[in-house]
Structure 1
């Protein structure tokens, strides 16, 4: 017995002190699953907070629901009322002057409850100047109203490969008086739309022909977005009047920026999402214009990924008049495949989920979830700006100067994707730039990395494994991926 007790003392004395667990995403951004109407297959396609505090939710099944008490602490208080049904895969909602605008597969319509019973009884077609043929992939995504009062519509190619029907593979603007303006060509398979803080319109496109990986793209009016399959519609008089002549055909097997130098109309991807590392099906877009109610990422953009059931964060800047920037992981663990994202004026992000036809890491067939900032600020990369000889990183909290000033705390590789007519692309053209200096600012909130071997046209994948906060915390997310289309001159 004495020997046994002595052994126990020795063993207990050798136990290492327990280390507090590192912070996790839920410490900063709490995810709440909201109950959905019993017996309804929701499969959310779009979300729009309304002025009266309700939230409108549309579905791939052609319904629109109004949701009350969506901000309640107790999810059981959420109440659903069906506003409309019999529509066709509503993938866009907007609100103006008492009308709810719905972008469905064949048109933009507007709906109103004229007698106050909670259900739509007026239905008007605003515009239906594009064609459909019943192909499962002929999605039509609609935006909120832009600064000129237009709704933008992005049209997927038929089967996501061809342009068999009018304006497949194009973006259109629908004006307040219902006129259609052909606006951009070269789209393949949109997954969502949204504006940045200054009102420029973006969409997500997905891996496939002429798209080596999923991406965020800027819908510059008059631009060609890269897939020539729909360029036959330049022959329409109204398209030629709005867009000009058909752009030159890109060379398959080239690189994005090589072709951008040869085709003035071509607007290359703003951010390339490295395949599988940042997802496989880029989806909805939302910009944080809540004025700090969602934390420290004001005016940054958030992008969903349907396959990975995640939300990514995007920092954009302009170089030589063109957008480019970095994507950083933000939040995982959504219940179904992330499709629409939408911020409310109260500072919540609503996320709609669906996995029919695509599959997703989130196992539920559909979901409606709310993401709220807890008031705690995570230690994160805040911004990643390109410089002529490197990058400037800012952080949400001061860094430990010794760790952040050590070049061994960082690792960088670069690579590109092939711009080609065949489906997707592997990562190619790898390089290993050398980080020669890491200068920490006096306030500890930024680090200037000097890099030997910057590569225009490449993704610069940066891992910050050794960087810690002044309080000793690791970064919540250690990776950032900057699409360096252009190296700034100053």
Structure 2
């Protein structure tokens, strides 16, 4: 039966090819698999949404970059014209992280991590409790602080953007810190430049997104491992105040490559996944993991990353090889009204996104937005996972593919490149190579194929291009380690 369904999906595409019709693009096909809806916003308000918290009774709290907190009712409903809003609080300082716990709305803004609640039932916050946050702040536009939901120990992880995204003119700029439930701040990882979000994978490990710029050849998803240095050395001046972190890392050599500098700097943890600049976005933001067990499609356990400039959502498959995270990024959802900053995925499989344009601009066109996305129930034909072997890669698919087609090596090509690890802003693609796919062995059920590849390149992005009948035909794998 499942093979008949696959045939019925692929047959119309083949018929279009025979007739010479133009095939629908990946962007045009999104509505087959995911429905995106705009949620009405309170009239006359500037709702540049920087944070989202899911509340009981299907209510949602959003925090705006202007410091307001609003409660939305009806965002899960079929009739979005019934959505209502209640102002909950004014006066935060650009909250870029919120969550609900035990009757409190917790927030992270530029100043602090704290919590608020409505104790008298009038719909407005009347208790504000500052929990902690001993980092520094001045008037610089870029000194953002992105806060996570709590980890298994109740700690809130916070990424602290550099001053102007280039300097560390305020304490702890360029760091990831943890705020314990009793308010203690623990320096946790250095090497941050200009983050856009922070979150956890399915295993509970912490990741943050960082943007292209100084010491970042391209934007990326980084593992915030406790005690690590993640690449940008500007904030390392604060190691003197962080005895728990051990000695300050050796400074990287300007103009080198990350995979080379790892041999010199034991604390250096490479980006888990690099996002090719301009090809797969260029301003990654929120990080969420699909824990809906299929309610949001066939990607349970994978990571979704927001994208501000391209008004999109990318999908990331992560794996650990020789103790180091790496993996592949795939294009996923597109066409949002504004650049995405926060995201939350509800238990029922509804993805909520908040958008803002101020200071950055985006392809979405609107100044701000609040949207939701739901899985239609139709499984998209996709590369589900891309795992590395010592002689190539294994692909798995979301649905069975024709074994003869996936076993044809002419349907695959690959190229690689890396970026200069340098103080200068960003980097062009460098050190290009063209590995050769020499064999493709399909599984009998058509759900996977093992590719033998000559010429794997350590430290490079491996761009796999396919000619398979998929929603998205490309994958971009960051190769930090080759299996032993």
Q: 1:278 aligns to what?
A: 280
Spell out, residue by residue over 1:435-461, the C-alpha distance to the aligned partner (whole angstroms, 9 max, x if none): 000111000000100001111111000
Q: 1:17 to 1:38 in 2, by over 3 A?
A: same
Per-residue deviation at 1:366?
Answer: 0.4
- Map 1:95-174 to 2 at 5 A: 95-174=100-179
Q: 2:411 aligns to what?
A: 409
RMSD: 1.2
Per-residue deviation at 1:266?
Answer: 0.8
* Matching residue within 368, 372, 375 for 2:374: 372
Q: 2:289 aligns to what?
A: 287
SS of residue in 2 equivalent to 1:24: helix
* Matching residue within 466, 475, 489 for 2:470: 475
Separation in 2 of the partners of 1:17 and 1:180? 64
Q: Does 1:486 align with 2:442?
A: no
Separation in 1 of the partners of 2:133 and 2:222? 25
After alignment, is 395-404 or 374-383 more displaced? Answer: 395-404
SS of residue in 2 equivalent to 1:168: coil
SS of residue in 2 equivalent to 1:81: strand
SS of residue in 2 equivalent to 1:370: strand
Spell out, residue by residue over 1:395-453, the C-alpha distance to the aligned partner (whole angstroms, 9 max, x if none): 01111122211111011001001111110000000001110001110000001000011
Q: 1:27 aligns to what?
A: 32
Q: Does 1:233 align with 2:235?
A: no
Q: 1:459 aligns to what?
A: 461
- Map 1:159-238 to 2 at 5 A: 159-236=164-241
* Matching residue within 45, 53, 59 for 2:64: 59
Separation in 2 of the partners of 1:128 and 1:436? 54
Q: 1:349 aligns to what?
A: 351
Separation in 2 of the partners of 1:90 and 1:382? 34
Separation in 2 of the partners of 1:358 and 1:274? 19
SS of residue in 1 equivalent to 2:116: strand
Separation in 2 of the partners of 1:284 and 1:336? 14
Q: 2:421 aligns to what?
A: 419
Q: 2:5 aligns to what?
A: none
Q: Report the structure number with the largest CA radius of gyration.
A: 1
SS of residue in 2 equivalent to 1:110: strand
SS of residue in 1 equivalent to 2:58: coil
SS of residue in 2 equivalent to 1:261: helix
SS of residue in 2 equivalent to 1:48: strand
Q: 2:439 aligns to what?
A: 437
Contact 2:155 2:178 in 1 (8 A): yes
Per-residue deviation at 1:17?
Answer: 5.3
Misfit runs of 4+, over 6 Å? none
Spell out, residue by residue over 1:284-336, the C-alpha distance to the aligned partner (whole angstroms, 9 max, x if none): 11110111111110010000110011100000000001110000000110000
Contact 2:133 2:179 in 1 (8 A): no
Spell out, residue by residue over 1:191-213, the C-alpha distance to the aligned partner (whole angstroms, 9 max, x if none): 01111111111100000010000
Per-residue deviation at 1:128?
Answer: 2.8
Per-residue deviation at 1:19?
Answer: 5.9
- Map 1:379-390 to 2 at 5 A: 379-390=381-392
Separation in 2 of the partners of 1:480 and 1:441? 20
Spell out, residue by residue over 1:182-237, the C-alpha distance to the aligned partner (whole angstroms, 9 max, x if none): 1011100000111111111110000001000000001101111111101111111x
Q: 1:307 aligns to what?
A: 309
> TM-score if structure 2 supplies the norm length?
0.94
Q: 2:91 aligns to what?
A: 86
Per-residue deviation at 1:52?
Answer: 2.6
Q: 1:322 aligns to what?
A: 324
Separation in 1 of the partners of 2:435 and 2:203? 34
Q: 2:9 aligns to what?
A: none
Spell out, residue by residue over 1:133-188, the C-alpha distance to the aligned partner (whole angstroms, 9 max, x if none): 11000000000011110011100000000001100001110001111111011100
After alignment, is 319-328 or 50-59 more displaced? Answer: 50-59
Q: 2:251 aligns to what?
A: 249
Spell out, residue by residue over 1:38-97, the C-alpha distance to the aligned partner (whole angstroms, 9 max, x if none): 001101101111123211111101011111111111111111111111111000002221
Q: 1:7 aligns to what?
A: none
Q: Does 1:268 align with 2:273?
A: no
Q: Does 1:259 align with 2:261?
A: yes
Separation in 1 of the partners of 2:446 and 2:325? 28
Spell out, residue by residue over 1:238-257, the C-alpha distance to the aligned partner (whole angstroms, 9 max, x if none): x12x2111111111111111
- Figure out how many residues of one structure are paired with residues of the other and give that number: 464
SS of residue in 1 equivalent to 2:228: coil
